[in-house]
Amino acid sequence: MLNRKSTFVLFGLFLMATSIFGQDVFISNTENRNFTSLNGKWKFVLDPFQTGGMGGMPVYKNYQPKDKSDRVEYGFDNGKNLWVPGSWNIQYPELTYFEGNVWYRKTFDKPDRTEGKRYFVHIGAANYKTTVSFNGEILGHHEGGFTPFSFEVTDLLKEKDNFLIVGVDNARAADNIPSKVSDWFNHGGITRDVKLIEVPSTFINNYFLSLDKSTLKQRSKTIQGKLELVGENRPKTARILIPELKLNQEFEVNADGPTEFSINTKGLELWSPKNPKLYEVTLVAGNDTIGDQIGFRTIEAIGKQIVLNGEPIFLKGICLHDENPLRKDRANSIEDAELVLGWAQELGCNFLRLAHYPHQEKIVRLADKLGILLWEELPLYWGIQWDNPEVLEKAKKQYAEMINRDYNRASTIIWSIANETASIPDRNAFLGELADYIRSMDDTRLLSAAIKKDQELDGHPDSVYTYNDPLIEKLDIISLNEYLGWYGGAPEETRGKSFEFGFEKPVIVSEFGGGALQGYYADKQTRWSEEFQEHLYKESLAMFDKIDGLSGMAPWILVDFMSPLRQLPDVQDGWNRKGLISEKGQKKKAFFVLQDYYKKK
Nearer of residues 101 and 481 to ligand GCB, judged by Cβ? 481
The least distance separating ligand GCB from the CB of residue 514, rounded to whole angstroms, comes to 9
Burial classification of residue 117, based on how many CB atoms lie within 10 Å of its CB (0-12 exposed, 13-18 middle, 19 or more buried): middle
85: preceding bond cis by omega (within 30 degrees): yes
The least distance separating ligand GCB from the CB of residue 568, rounded to whole angstroms, comes to 13
Relative to beta strand 101-108, strand 162-169 is: antiparallel
The least distance separating ligand GCB from the CB of residue 577, rounded to whole angstroms, comes to 9
Nearer of residues 228 and 560 to ligand GCB, judged by Cβ? 560
Please calculate the CA angle 98-103-107 and round it to the nearest 5 degrees: 140
200 contact partners, CB below 8 Å, separation of at least 6: 116, 117, 118, 231, 286, 287, 288
Rounded to whole angstroms, the Cα distance separating 431 from 417 reads: 7
DSSP state of 146: S
Relative to beta strand 194-200, strand 117-123 is: antiparallel
The least distance separating ligand GCB from the CB of residue 181, rounded to whole angstroms, comes to 11
Nearer of residues 88 and 544 to ligand GCB, judged by Cβ? 544
Nearer of residues 140 and 358 to ligand GCB, judged by Cβ? 358
**Residues 450 and 511 sit within 8 Å (Cβ to Cβ):** yes
The least distance separating ligand GCB from the CB of residue 460, rounded to whole angstroms, comes to 14
The least distance separating ligand GCB from the CB of residue 380, rounded to whole angstroms, comes to 11
**Residues 128 and 145 sit within 8 Å (Cβ to Cβ):** yes
Nearer of residues 64 and 567 to ligand GCB, judged by Cβ? 567
Q: For binding to ligand GCB (CB under 6 A), which residues are involved?
A: 183, 356, 419-420, 481, 511, 556, 576, 578
The least distance separating ligand GCB from the CB of residue 183, rounded to whole angstroms, comes to 4
Q: List C-alpha distances in Å: 383 to 181, 379, 552.
A: 7, 11, 28
Cβ-proximal residue to ligand GCB, closest one: 183
The edge-to-edge listing of strands for the beta sheet with 305-308 is 299-302, 305-308, 311-312
The least distance separating ligand GCB from the CB of residue 270, rounded to whole angstroms, comes to 33
Nearer of residues 506 and 514 to ligand GCB, judged by Cβ? 514
**Residues 154 and 119 sit within 8 Å (Cβ to Cβ):** yes
The least distance separating ligand GCB from the CB of residue 475, rounded to whole angstroms, comes to 17
The least distance separating ligand GCB from the CB of residue 557, rounded to whole angstroms, comes to 7
Rounded to whole angstroms, the Cα distance separating 177 from 128 reads: 9
Longest dimension (CA), the chain: 80
Nearer of residues 419 and 428 to ligand GCB, judged by Cβ? 419
Please calculate the CA angle 586-186-515 and round it to the nearest 5 degrees: 35
Phi, psi of 235, rounded to the nearest 5 degrees: -70, 160
Rounded to whole angstroms, the Cα distance separating 415 from 448 reads: 6
Residue 305 pairs in a beta bridge with 302
Nearer of residues 118 and 578 to ligand GCB, judged by Cβ? 578
**Residues 559 and 328 sit within 8 Å (Cβ to Cβ):** no
Rounded to whole angstroms, the Cα distance separating 497 from 465 reads: 7
Nearer of residues 242 and 449 to ligand GCB, judged by Cβ? 449
Nearer of residues 183 and 244 to ligand GCB, judged by Cβ? 183
